[in-house]
Chains A and B, each alone.
Chain A
Amino acid sequence: MPKSRVEPDACFLNIPYDQQFEKLYLAYIVGLTALGFVPRATLGVPKDARRLNRIFNLIQTCHYSVHDLSRIQLDRKTPRAPRFNMPFELGLAVAWSTLNPRSHSWVGCDAVHHRPVKSISDLNGTDFHIHGGTVKGVLNALCNAFVSRGERPTVPGMFRAYLLLRQASAALQAAAGARDLFQARVFADLVVAARKLWEQRSLTNKLLV
């Protein structure tokens, strides 16, 4: 497999794609863009035989990755099975960062304390960031996980940007003609919109000072 070029500010976002996770999905986008990241996700990666290669390639191109294991419970359809995509992609990232510690760092998140280490005991000794399943929790977890060298974004500031992005998301979804927000085009639009919102917010704050 050819070695990919690492993007220093790209962050691989490993989250579940379902409507119940929509608020936290938007929170991750706002939080990561406010911290200066370019979020990347497997949305848009075709579901063919080469999917795994493409996902691994995507992880390799990102210097950072965030893995949310808060929704790996059994699904409702029979036969009921846990959702292993997120832990599997976490495994790929852990392997890649172990082999290349200079070119990849990963961060784990969950809603409940001690649960990830209970379900993946191989990760004992690694502390996960706990968000409690809330938007502010996610923003706080991202601020704790990453420290920016420049201006540090505040959780209330990011929360305001999140509220605006949530209001704008319906229009962005309609403009893309998508049935939900978990589509490659909507994802890119949300990232750009979040960046613009954050930019304007920072500008307003500077004018007020």
Chain B
Amino acid sequence: MRSPDLLRHAWAVASKDLLVEFRSRTAIVSVAVFVVLVFVVFQFGHDPTAVSNFDLAPSILWVTFTFAAILALNRAFQLELENQALEGLLLAPIGRGSIYLGKLIANLAFVATIELIGLPLLALFFNVPVLPCLGPLAATIALATVGFVAVGTLFSAMTVRTRFAELLLPVLLLPFMILPLWWAVLATGRLLASRPLSEVAGWLNMLAVYDVVFVTIALLLFPATVNE
């Protein structure tokens, strides 16, 4: 398939998902509330006189994003279960790669929205100066998010049609999320402490390699998850 078609079809799938979400807005509102609640849990889950909020901020940020992303990913293919919408999608004259890319784009948009809500709230609640390092921090968040959402989109296509789907996705996905999460936490900590960019370049490179490898693999493997 020609690449303009691939992208055009992917965009059609993504815009369909985003439109469904935009019309109802239930998922995004729930996840945004979830993010706030996790922040509150973290605030009361540690002693701020023993561990300062500033030291804990990178962990709070990434643990919250991880759990919020898993919630979002569970939703991606659940949408398609109703009225056997997935069969309809598979019958459409578009490549499997387009379906995967479309789902990936929609999930990325969804998770990015959560992160756009989460980051200012983190700065507000935990008094973390995110503005001075906003550019590199945004790059770190973007790189880490692409990696685990790519794997998560692939896995959610499988888990959604298994027993205990909501539980299985995190069990399968978390081992794949820990590495990017780890690199992202290390990079975020250094960025928030206004360390020079050269100190985090290594982590960002690792994240970029992870993204390239897993987006490619997921694109190649996705047909195997939906072909009967």
Are chains A and B native binding partners rather than an unrelated pairing?
A: no
